[in-house]
Chains A and B, each alone.
Chain A
Amino acid sequence: MARRASPLTAFVTKELRHILRDRQTLTILLLLPLAMVVLFGFALRNDVNDIRIAFVDPAPDYATLALRARFAGNGRFNPVATAATTSAIEPLFRRGKADVAVVFESGFAGHLAAGLPANILIISDASDPNTGSRMQAYAGAVIASWQAELHAARGGVQIVTRTRMRFNPTLESVNLFVPGLIALVLTLVTALMTAISLSREKERGTLEILLVSPLRPWQIIVGKVLPYLALAFANVITALLAAWLVFDVPFRGSITLLLIASALYALVGLALGVFIAASTSSQRAAMLGALVGTMLPSTLLSGMIFPIASLPGWLQPVTYVIPARWFIIIARGIMLKGVGLNDLWAPILALLVMLAALMLVAIRSFKPRLA
């Protein structure tokens, strides 16, 4: 029996060649998850690092020294000055040489030992209110943890500070971003790239040749989709590795489950891409359609950046049809909370339903009989 490649294999080979030959696009697509994780992780994170801290310690004692050492040992804080009075550190604030000041009262250790309230005042540079309150929160967290240890050791410790902790006790916003970034990268590679590649065949007239050939419509779609599915997998792995190696983002759940969910989400994106290509008549329209129809909602309406609960009431139901919304719930659940299928069946089911509906529309829109 002579060796014969199946029509589908021949078609997939062609698709792989298109992708591999366009080196620039391929490089961008492969580096995209890395660039996005690093960008979001470092530049766009809401965390504040390298906080320059000044201490006002009118009467240093063992307790204030211990607490100052605790600040110095914490990676976020960088002690820049110690003064005896608040007025002495005022110029530092004005010249932008300090971000936060921690003011101890005199007799701090004595109050602690006597079981009396020991007062600390945290002053922060709130010219950027977000950063200001966040820096206060970090400083409060350092004090609170020191107090907790002291309390456990000998009891009866009261330190009074004005800040309080917020949600996300580790205060790492990158943890919350990474699942959203995976969703974004997957959307880009699947929906956008399939829409472009398929509408290019339409625009150049090669699709007509394919439709006249013995290739069946489903083979054309599968042939288009398979190589991008592989690329999407590479992207998920890159994003996870970057998140783990660069930012120590925890991974508490099952990686297999996350990969399965990613494949499911990628298929939804691919079907969406096919649908967009089928309903537009040029590459340009397909590209804009994919950007507006998938990238924007995936970023803004998915809960990736803005919590869904903070959207206006009429907009919230719209998020139910945004695939990224469900994928982010799944990915955050698996990565940050370590939950499994028992808790995630609902969003997975939502993605499955969307996939089934989109596949139906996509295959239907590619009937070779054009009318």
Chain B
Amino acid sequence: MTPAIDVHDLTRRFGTFTAVDAISFHVDDGEVFGFLGANGAGKTTAIKMLIGLLSPTSGRASVAGFDVLTQAEEVRRRIGYMSQRFSLYDDLTVRENIALYGGIYGLTDAEIRERGNALIDELKLGGAADELVSALPLGWKQKLAFSVAMLHQPAVVFLDEPTGGVDPITRRQFWEMIYAAAARGTTVFVTTHYLDEAEYCDRVSIMVDGRIAAMGTPVELKSEFGVRTLDELFVRLARPEVASGPLPGVRAEG
């Protein structure tokens, strides 16, 4: 059976600059995969190739069993995407946003109604369902954006720094939602700058200068590199000059 995401020697160059340098990895069905890397390491370029916003210079990748280059339509139908920027429409209500994305992904009116109601109950948004999204607090907005990205029950969901700027309690709730989605069989591909969150992932990869420098379960990685936390490992890989010096406690900046 094909993995949910299968990547072979995927490369993207901009002029002479190689943003993504022949990376290969796979993500299994139902896995929560953490895609880590410092800013500028090539994460965003890699994601854009996987969701069909950018074409690879060379190499190939498949998502949900379909080639991202030749079967882009099939891929689009089966993935969900939550970008770094808030992707719902502020001047539409919660229900109107749900109706829009449900409609775009070809759900029936009945499906939109049922799943919309379930989603609103789950997020305890009952009272705010017909309010404009702009009136919601940031934490709710992010949870809503995730739920809307999951509305069409995609095989794979891509989350690009989904918890940026939200409070610790909401982050915890967010990760509970991610686990619930994975338990229902959706593969989760998530980037984050919070390394405590990376510990929640089934497996993580760390990208440095366009290459994957380390990949495995958090436990494997920590023992392989002899570090106590992923934080420590991240700094050592991404900023070797800092890690080798006597500067304990330096965090990788977001």
Contacts and interface: CB of A to CB of B under 8 A. Distances in A.
B196 interface: no
A208 B85 CA distance: 10
A230 interface: no
Contacts of A153: none
Contact of B53 (A21, A22, A204, A211): A211
Nearest to B73: A214
A14 B107 contact: no
Contacts of A7: 103-106
Interface residues of A, number: 30
B52 to A, nearest CB: 7
A371 to B, nearest CB: 6
Contacts of A204: 85-86
Interface string A212-229: 111100000000000000
Interface string B60-83: 000000000000110011010101
Interface string B93-111: 0001001111111111111
A358 B100 CA distance: 28
A254 interface: no
B58 interface: no
A200 B51 CA distance: 22
Interface of B: 48, 51-55, 72-73, 76-77, 79, 81, 83-89, 91-92, 96, 99-111
Contact of A205 (B87, B99, B107, B110): B87
B96 A213 contact: no
Nearest to A204: B85
B103 A13 contact: yes
Contacts of B86: 204-205
A123 to B, nearest CB: 62
Given A2-B109, A7-B103, A17 B83 contact: no
A22 B54 contact: no
A3 B110 contact: yes
Given A2-B110, A21-B92, A208-B85, 15 more contacts: A7-B104, A9-B103, A13-B99, A17-B92, A18-B92, A204-B86, A209-B81, A209-B83, A211-B53, A212-B81, A213-B101, A214-B104, A368-B52, A369-B55, A370-B53
A369 B54 contact: yes
A197 to B, nearest CB: 11
Nearest to B74: A214
B53 A212 contact: yes
Interface in A1-17: 2-7, 9-11, 13-14, 17
Contact of A212 (B79, B109, B110): B79
A208 B110 contact: no
A2 B85 contact: no
B76 A11 contact: no
A11 B53 contact: no
A205 B104 contact: no
A212 B87 CA distance: 12
A371 B100 contact: no
A206 interface: yes
A7 B107 CA distance: 9
Contacts of A2: 108-111
B102 A10 contact: yes
Given A205-B86, A211-B53, A214-B77, A22 B106 contact: no
A18 B110 CA distance: 24
B68 to A, nearest CB: 10
Given A206-B87, A212-B76, A213-B105, A10 B100 contact: yes
